[in-house]
Structure 1
């Protein structure tokens, strides 16, 4: 009887697990960075944003990749920068001589210091970034402004699964530019699908590497998380109900057989 119950429970769990995996769905969550007020030109070290519906949070910090060879894919050292966010603009990076007046407080690869700005995003769970929306502004001293970007997801958990309170420092780190995936911009504001299905809790959004005319602010991010559909929960409950009913029936049958055996012994 114990073995039968064990088999019933195992089968029920396997069925419920299969239904859970097969019928999971994706939920889209939007972060808008254009309605959070404005920082000063001095910027901040970090800031934690809530999603539009309040269901998720992300911590943003600003950095700069020091690229001394902009004609080849190289390994860059990393410097700390300041994060800025502006009403009707979005997230930008303040590094070096950037100011609020010269337009270079965007996430850019322009200016006197070679390299590319980037923002590190620490989500409170694994997410897939579905799309990136950018606002582009003309920068002082740059003949043409483009909006080429790049991204990288920490799928290998190099940084682990940090909480929003974790203070990750990249200044002693290096990264090879080849780990980034490039997103081509059209030189104007707009939304780009990342075309990625990978999920991670830490993401980098950067200006394109080995270029000198790109700059943008992140206005919106749409992220996706896997969640079970309501039908999945209903089927799981139904499945466990069947398992429970089967267990009760087997117990009743076993009890009846035991009682019959006792009666037969008593009558013998």
Structure 2
């Protein structure tokens, strides 16, 4: 029995160590995604809850400690900072694609880079890094079969020339957030999660069979 448990533990560890995701940052022009996040007179705060149109899904925005997010006007607008990171979390649905526009808090003539930490439905995360384009528009896409749970935009850095060192900056605002919603009941679990479940069922089955054999010989 002990050998079986050790085997299960080692297999689970190996599976969880293998990344099963391949999200990516894209820079696309064109229309927004199906659900657009709207301001509707919400008060400023470190964490604010907005609503999409047309689906009416609730979306939490949470900034770093000590920072406040201020919805700027009503409609498909922007959420002002400054903030060093912001987490965007649709509360009742997952999403396969999300687009937004970021404004850096530094000078316009700087080159900027940033990170996005994406969290997946079913477990697992992936850190993406990219350059911030001059128009600030960024798209995040999940791989086929993957569904995002939330994402955190963070670690903005800027420099004027390639020979200069990168320096940290805050984001000034995030605006025009939209996404393609995925119902959580249809989300596909991580392959590693499926594998761990199968191993667990196999371990339980082995224990039951061994117990039956023990009772039969008793």
TM-score for both structures, normalised by structure 2 = 0.49
Larger C-alpha radius of gyration, 1 or 2? 1
More strand by share: 2
TM-score for both structures, normalised by structure 1 = 0.41
